[in-house]
Structure 1
Amino acid sequence: MTTGRLEHANISVTDPERCAALLRDLLGWEERWRGPSQKYGRSVHVGGRHDYIALYTGEHVRGGYAKGQPLNHLAFTVDDLDAAEAAVTAHGLEPFGHDDYEPGRRFYFFDWDGIEFEVVSYE
């Protein structure tokens, strides 16, 4: 049996640079790559050595995301939940849904395109 892990997720956003700045500040990630996509539009990749989020935009991106259609939310783990919340707030976004139950503390926020993110700390 092999062991796998998620290598990347590709999400469509209206402003990849703005979303990349948020993810760098929130998660301590680095920009891995940026450039034109293979077919149309452009992309900014942010993450770590083995995994990343591809932030993709083009003429097809018009916003209008609705939770659960088709994505419910993306979740990230952090060591310092308070610092993560401060980063979200510094980018002008509003954290909500603060919960503390096993296995960790968490909060949620919507980005500028209406995509919901969850941030969890197991510390």
Structure 2
Amino acid sequence: MTQARLEHVNVTVSNPAETAKRLCDWFGWQVRWSGPAKNGGTTYHVGNDHDYVALYALATPTETPRGRLNHIGVLVEDLADAEARILADGIRTHSHANYEPGRRFYFDDPDGIEFEVISYA
């Protein structure tokens, strides 16, 4: 088994574009990608060539707390192998998708933390 690595964390913010600008200014990062996200929201991926912070906001502000951790993204070489190990632990996976540049699925751990598992292979 190849060791997985943390690829990103996803947090809710009030204004992804403004937060992205601050993070770029503060840390020398770059906007890797920005665009539409689930539930009509917007996301900015800000970081370097290897990892990033995903900044998410709904189209219309709601009672969703800002600064909330939405999920932790883990990059793996073999998506099927990673999913088999998670399923073997009795965890249900969901939201499987193919997207540019890879494939992904999600699961909630026993503490309710959502993980996104990604592979670019």
**Shorter chain as normaliser: what TM range?**
0.3 to 0.5
Structure with greater strand percent: 2
Q: Normalising to structure 2: TM-score of the pair?
A: 0.48
Q: Which has the higher contact order (CA 8 A, sep 6+)?
A: 2
